[in-house]
Structure 1
Amino acid sequence: MEFNENVSLWQRLRQARKPVVLYGMGNGADKILDELARHGIAAAGVFASDEFCRGQMFRGFRVTNYTQAKEHFGEMIVLVAFGTQLPEVLGRVKQIAREQELYIPDVPVYGEGIFDTDYLRLYETELRQAYGLLADDLSRETFRDMVEYKLSGKPEYLYHCESRPAEVCENILKLGNNECYVDVGAYTGDTIRDFVETTDGYGEIFAIEPDERNFVKLKSAVESMEHVTCWNVAACEKDGMIPFAQRGGRNSAASEQERMVPASCLDNLLAGKRVTYIKYDVEGEEESALKGTKHIIKEQRPKLLVSAYHRTEDLFRLPLLVIGMQPDYRVYLRHFPCIPAWDTNYYFV
């Protein structure tokens, strides 16, 4: 596994002569500004899409739109500081990239660890081990592109490895009409709807969602469906109580600053249940949730979908963990159209 990029984005930015300007505000922009400061790189400004630009201040910068930023700076380095799957927004980013030097920094949604050349050297052995587990050429190509993207911030690596969700359903998961599906991080029921639309029937559905507001919407979404059980708990390695940030959105997550919620390992919660397919999308707690499912994984070998983009180490740590539990799995990696490297999943079948 060889790489084209040998200079990280942050090294490149330290040598930049053009002004460095952020596109976007919010948590992602905060993390990028903090990382720039850690490297001694001064940001020159912040702009936003027209619909979000109201002359507000962000981290000491007056937020403009792109046209205003271009008039002020001329040529600049643009750092995209938000995530999106929307085709019109992805198109806008590509248009700016045709006019400016543009990067999409990879900063973790949760946890620490910036994927730079030092990080690559530190975890090279684990990365190579994970790469060696992959079952097909597209998975290996996706893995290489992910590493190249994380190092360089260049969006073309993300565009190069995009897949279609239908390809996964047809060629990897191949779901039948009697699946017993466990949706870990069920949110408001959208992934349950996708599952039902993909299959011609199912055995049972078990939905797990810790956020109270999301859980109310989830219950409403499935109330007319048969054989669906919902639990308002967090999936973890052990039963108990954990601190949790209830935000009523997809970014609700385990936190040291919010209230306590019940947590359960799936081995106990699903004891005695038949399980054929589990989806894990739990905002950075995938490792803990997987560890709490080790007996089901060993004994029933369900198909698994595991989100692999919340923490920097997910790319190598999650497949090594699962294969350590059940060596018979075939491992696939896919990335769907999205920036930054979100909507990247491992599949174990």
Structure 2
Amino acid sequence: MLFSEIDTTYLANTIKGLQGKKLILWGAGRRLKGFVEQYCGDGKLLPTPYGVCDSTREIAEKTLWGIPVLPFKDVQAMLPKDTVIIITAGLLELQARVVASELYYFPLFHCRTFEVYDYLQKNLDQCDRAIGLLADPVSKKTYRGCIENILCGRLWDQSLFSASPYFGNDINERLDASGQLVFAGAFNGKHLDRALENNPAIRIAAFEPSKTWSAYLREKFKAAPQVTIHNKILWSENTLLSFDDDMSNSGLDAHVTTDAANSTYQHEGVAIDDYIEGKVSMIALDVEGSEQRVVQGAHRTIERDRPKLCLCLYHNLDDYFRIPVIISERYGYRLHVKHHSTISAIETVLYAV
């Protein structure tokens, strides 16, 4: 069960067929620039787009990243046989508008489909190597199924769903109170509540870099002395980082950014090896694409304590395939994958036990 066995003929033919079509990018948020720069134009996977539009706001500029801005009504008036639309927004931001906007007759793709296709074409051996490291056939089926769903545009798939992320499942049934749980990406505390319910004796070092959410968590768990809230970014080293708290979206996409000018604030990053004292029995990371960095900063802790690891894979394409290799080769863990959402492209977790 390998990634090289996935039939990508349909997408290959779609890409070839884009020549002579009007390629429209729908969504002018922060995804647009990176997608255009990496995938669109001469010598790249996709041709230069005909235009960009956005149905959620008026765009004042006449062009964005060299692409003409079109009124959304002009896109709606185009002929589906001559047009291909790629959504360059979050996975769920515009899909609900397809019916209301009467775009269901158009060939419509999400940008993630082309990102995955391009990554597989360039890194197929590495991807096959990663799936070969998984310890059981269900993990392999789940892992490949998530990627295949994105390639095929299958947003929902109930068949891959598994309840109870990180603990309380058949891989990690009960939290080990002989050490502490390091949980990064604590957000609104729902998984901290679950941890205390799973084992009231567990000590939790919870990391939440958002100032708003960390203040909320300190108030929420003020009567739980076994829970410590750290308003810091877990990272590979102790350093100052630019952070976008994404509070306009309730912090759902808060992340470290290299774009300091457009970040919310500068924030302290710390490494587990330098910051956490005492034995660690589990590390669970949902840190919006910083998982590889955090693992680097926990090297000594992992070697010393052999904590169970629960690492989100879905934020960056490279994480899907690099993290299993890193964890297997450096530390020799047994690897499993579970998918904790009916949405194909989120909540895929690597378990190392």
TM-score, length basis structure 2: 0.77
**Counterpart residue identity of residue 325, structure 1:** R
Distance of 1:321 and 1:296 partners within structure 2:
15
Counterparts of 1:106 and 1:314 in 2: how far apart (Å)?
A: 14
In 1, the alpha carbon distance for the partners of 2:98 and 2:312 equals: 24
Which of 292, 299, 302 is the matching residue for 1:287? 292
Letter in 2 for 1:140: K
Aligned to 1:111: none
1:162–1:27 Cα change, 3 Å: farther
Q: CA offset at residue 337 of structure 1? A: 3.1
Matched, 1:19 2:9: no
Cross-structure match for 1:138: 138
The unaligned stretches of length 5 or more in structure 1 are 109-113
Aligned residues of 2:233 and 2:270 also touching (Cα < 8 A): yes
Match of 1:348 in 2: 352
Q: For 1:148-187, what aligned pairs fall within 5 Å after superposition? A: 148=148, 153-156=151-154, 159=157, 162-166=160-164, 169-176=168-175, 178=177, 180-187=180-187
The correspondence for 2:277, drawn from 267, 271, 278, is 271
Q: How does 1:1-349 map to 2 (within 5 A)?
A: 1=2, 2-6=4-8, 9=11, 12-16=14-18, 17-34=20-37, 35-37=39-41, 39=44, 41-46=47-52, 48=54, 52-53=56-57, 59=64, 60-64=68-72, 69-75=75-81, 76-84=83-91, 99-106=105-112, 114-116=115-117, 119-120=119-120, 122-148=122-148, 153-156=151-154, 159=157, 162-166=160-164, 169-176=168-175, 178=177, 180-196=180-196, 199=198, 201-238=200-237, 240-247=238-245, 248=247, 249=251, 250-255=253-258, 257=260, 260-273=266-279, 275-334=280-339, 336-338=341-343, 341-349=345-353
Number of residue pairs the alignment of both structures matches: 331
Following superposition, the deviation at residue 290 of structure 1 comes to 0.7
The TM-score, its normalising length taken from structure 1, stands at 0.78
Measured in 2, the distance between the counterparts of 1:73 and 1:192 equals 51
Report the AA paired with residue 29 of structure 1. Answer: L
Structure 2 gaps, min length 5: none
Distance 2:32 2:194 in 1: 31
Which structure would you say has the larger RCO, counting Cα contacts within 8 Å and 6 or more residues apart? 1
In structure 2, C-alpha distance between the alignment counterparts of 1:71 and 1:9, rounded to whole Å: 25
Deviations 1:290-325 (A, max 9, x none): 122223323333222211123221112111111233
Deviation at 1:271, TM superposition (A): 2.4
Report the CA distance shift for 1:46/1:138 in structure 2 as closer, same or farther (over 3 A). Answer: farther
8 Å contact kept, 2:91–2:110: no
